[in-house]
Chain A
Amino acid sequence: MDFSSLLLGLLDNLIRGLSLGSVYAIIALGYTMVYGIAKMLNFAHGDVIMVGAYVCFFAISTYGLPPVIGILLSMVVCTALGIVIERLAYKPLRQAPSLAVLITAIGVSYFLQNAAQLLWTSSPKVFPSVVPKGNLTLFDGQLSISYLTIVTIVVCVIIMLVLTFFTNSTKMGKAMRACSEDKGAAQLMGIDVNATISITFAIGSALAAVAGVLLCSAYPSLTPTTGSMPGIKAFTAAVFGGIGSIPGALLGGLLLGIIEIFAGSYISTQLSNAIVFGVLIIVLLVKPAGLLGKKIREKV
């Protein structure tokens, strides 16, 4: 193998890693935002992705709707689902020990998986890509990047920009940050903490729908457990980057995607997941709060 093809191979893997990482990052945002404000790990988040993908699948394949409508519909359904889950399963546990909330979240996750199995059976559905098939070829055809890969990365960048603007520059976004720091003080300011938590779940779930559609466009076999592995990896990404931190979720997601693709290409496909989680363990040993997680010292 000569030098230039080695370099092209690296570039190809990097782009594929960024694309997979973008999906992880979008999912990780949901984990990290909910953790930031409700201080809970919503393990049902991965399964919301799956529901989103099914909604989009039926919209496009069964009802013949255009992909854009399918995506929007899936976002609407997931937003509602996220709000309902929070209202019914988590809100009554606001004062409960965190272990109770964690177990409930795992319960919700199994509930969604089994409900999906009942409704839609466990036989895999072939997901239609929402992005036209085709490649962008560069370097005289030596490097080809699929449109889906490009769209995935672009969507991730747009979501990050919008979310950054939202949390830093809007009243609602600032209220969200205030709640994630100190709910009692936020209430004294007149912020409705319950409404803010609902909105956070809504945003996270809408993002999960987007991630589900992108994920299934790349890996088209859709089953009721489709969401669980990406969900766990995105959770890993959120912890990797520093849970609670939005830039951390992006960084963690992208790194995780890149590591996974590189490990699969250059070491072993079977071992790629083990390597991903191995890296997580090492990072947490060195930086327990994650890459961008910070502990602010309190001045008295």
Chain B
Amino acid sequence: MLNVQDINVYYGAIHAIKDITFEVNDGEIVTLIGANGAGKSTTLQTISGLLHSKTGSISFLGKNIMGVPPHKVVSHGLAHVPEGRRVFLQMSVEENLEMGAYTRPKGEIAASLADVYERFPRLKERRRQVAGTLSGGEQQMLAMGRALMSKPRLLMLDEPSMGLAPILVEQIFDIIRELNAAGTTILLVEQNAQMALSIAHRGYVLETGKIVATGTGQQLLEDESVKKAYLGG
């Protein structure tokens, strides 16, 4: 479904992503794990067009999406929930969701809105509230709901558990699993490797811009070097 081939990304002189190649197949949950600064977020931002690779190719559903401007990537069926949620704090919950459906025809929005409210009842309760007044967990739900409003085939989530209480982390991961079961393919970037690997079909381990290990979620959970580096022994 998503094929990333030999991409290289630089921040000025810093070589942030080095020859990364990976793929996500239809129906999977794939996770990219690694320490802070390993290049996980950079990879997602390159896929969605916010950053540019100097080499290689990125294709999605058989179409080349490298060099496509970010505002056009979403209509290919690829939604990106950025790190730090980045909801529009001064806009209402419902307006945030409407922005998520920006590229879709007006007639289809009401149905998607109903779907999102069904999945996230809290958002429905707070639909008229300004997003800045939501709690961190609610903002994460809003960021995910907003991405779902574009009816994505592939949902890219960047650190959805960041800064959330353990009980909320559980809840967010349950939702990710449900979304996947309902047919959305997931590319998940996480620092919480334990949680991410436990729900992922497959995973890639990033270290200073390179992929150093790959395998099924279970394999990586049991891998000695992964355990040592990312799972606290």
Tell me whether B95 and A174 are in contact (CB under 8 A). yes
With a CB–CB cut-off of 8 A, which chain B residues contact A181? 88-91
Q: Does B163 contact A (CB under 8 A)?
A: yes
B102 and A191 within 8 A (CB): yes
Q: Return the CB mask of A265-290 against B: 1 if under 8 Å, else 0.
A: 00000000000000000000000000
A171 touches B102 (CB 8 A): yes
Binding site for B on A (CB under 8 A): 171, 174-175, 177-178, 181-182, 184-193, 296-300
Q: Check A178 against B91 for contact (C-beta < 8 Å).
A: yes
Residues of A within 8 A of B80 (CB): 188
Q: A174-B95, A185-B88, A188-B80 are in contact. Are A299 and B134 (CB under 8 A)?
A: yes
**Looking at chain A's contact residues, is the secondary structure mostly helix, strand, loop, or mixed?**
helix
Given known pairs A190-B72, A298-B132, the reply for A177 and B91 (CB within 8 Å) is yes
- Which 6 pairs from chain A and chain B are nearest by CB? A190-B103, A185-B86, A187-B70, A190-B74, A190-B102, A189-B99
Q: Is B27 positioned at the interface, with any CB of A under 8 Å from its CB?
A: no
Q: How far is the CA of A187 from the CA of B139 in the complex (A)?
A: 19
Return the chain B residue nearest A297 by Cβ: B132
Q: Which of B33-88 contact A (CB under 8 A)?
A: 48-50, 69-72, 74-75, 79-80, 82, 86-88
Interface centre among B70, B74, B79, B133 (most CB of A within 10 A): B70
Contacting pair A190 B75 (CB below 8 A): yes
Supposing A187-B71, A190-B75 touch, asked if A298 and B89 sit within 8 A by C-beta, the answer is yes
Interface residues of B (CB under 8 A from A): 48-50, 69-72, 74-75, 79-80, 82, 86-91, 95, 98-100, 102-103, 132-136, 139, 146-147, 150, 163
Instruction: Tell me the smallest distance from the CB of A300 to a CB of chain B, in Å.
Output: 5
Tell me if A186 and B99 are in contact (CB < 8 A).
Answer: yes
| Inter-chain contact B88/A178, CB cutoff 8 Å | yes
Shortest distance between the CB of A184 and any CB in chain B (Å) = 6
**Shortest distance in angstroms between B118's beta carbon and chain A's nearest beta carbon?**
21
How long is the Cα–Cα vector from A296 to B86 in the complex, in angstroms?
A: 14
| A189 and B146 contact, CB distance less than 8 A | yes
Contact present for A299 and B71 (CB under 8 Å):
no
* Nearest B residue to A168, CB-CB: B95
Residue of B nearest to A184 (CB): B50
Residue of B nearest to A296 (CB): B132
Q: How far is the CB of B47 from chain A (nearest CB, A)?
A: 11
Q: Which residue of B lies closest to A181 (CB)?
A: B88
- Chain A residues with CB below 8 A from B100, complex form: 189
Q: Does B136 contact A175, Cβ atoms closer than 8 Å?
A: no
State A13–B132 Cα separation when bound (angstroms): 42
Contacts of A190 in B (CB 8 A): 71-72, 74-75, 102-103, 150
* Cβ B99 vs Cβ A174 within 8 A: yes
Q: Cβ of A175: which chain B residues have Cβ within 8 Å of it?
A: 99, 102
Instruction: Say yes or no: B91 contacts A174, CB within 8 Å.
Output: yes
Q: Which residue of B lies closest to A192 (CB)?
A: B71
Specify which chain B residues have a CB less than 8 angstroms from the CB of A297 in the assembled complex: 132
List, sorted by A's number, 26 A–B pairs whose CB atoms are closer than 8 Å.
A174-B91, A174-B98, A174-B99, A177-B88, A177-B91, A178-B88, A178-B91, A181-B89, A181-B91, A182-B86, A185-B82, A187-B70, A188-B48, A188-B50, A188-B70, A188-B147, A189-B99, A189-B100, A189-B150, A190-B71, A190-B72, A191-B99, A296-B90, A298-B89, A299-B135, A299-B136
Contact of A182 among B69, B88, B132 (CB under 8 A): B88
Shortest CB-to-CB span from A51 to chain B, Å, is 32
Closest chain A CB from B22 CB (angstroms): 21
| B134: A residues at CB distance < 8 A | 299
**Across the interface, do A299 and B82 meet the contact criterion of CB distance under 8 Å?**
no
User: Which residue of B99, B139, B147, B150 is within 8 Å of A178 (Cβ)?
Assistant: B99
B135 touches A191 (CB 8 A): no
Q: Which residues of B contact A185 (CB under 8 A)?
A: 82, 86-88
Inter-chain CA distance A178–B86, complex, in Å, is 11
With a cutoff of 8 Å between Cβ atoms, the chain A residues found around residue B89 in the complex are 181, 296, 298
Bound-state Cα–Cα, A181 to B146, Å: 16
Chain B residues in 8 Å Cβ range of A174: 91, 95, 98-99
Q: A300 vs B100: C-alpha distance in the bound complex, in angstroms? A: 21
Say yes or no: A299-B132 contact (C-beta < 8 A), given A177-B90, A182-B88, A188-B82. Answer: yes
- State how many angstroms separate the Cβ of B96 from the closest Cβ of chain A: 8
Alpha-carbon distance A175/B100, docked complex (angstroms): 10
CA distance A107 to B86 in the complex (A): 35
A184 touches B86 (CB 8 A): yes
| Residues of chain A with a CB closer than 8 A to B82's CB | 184-185, 188
Tell me the smallest distance from the CB of A293 to a CB of chain B, in Å.
12
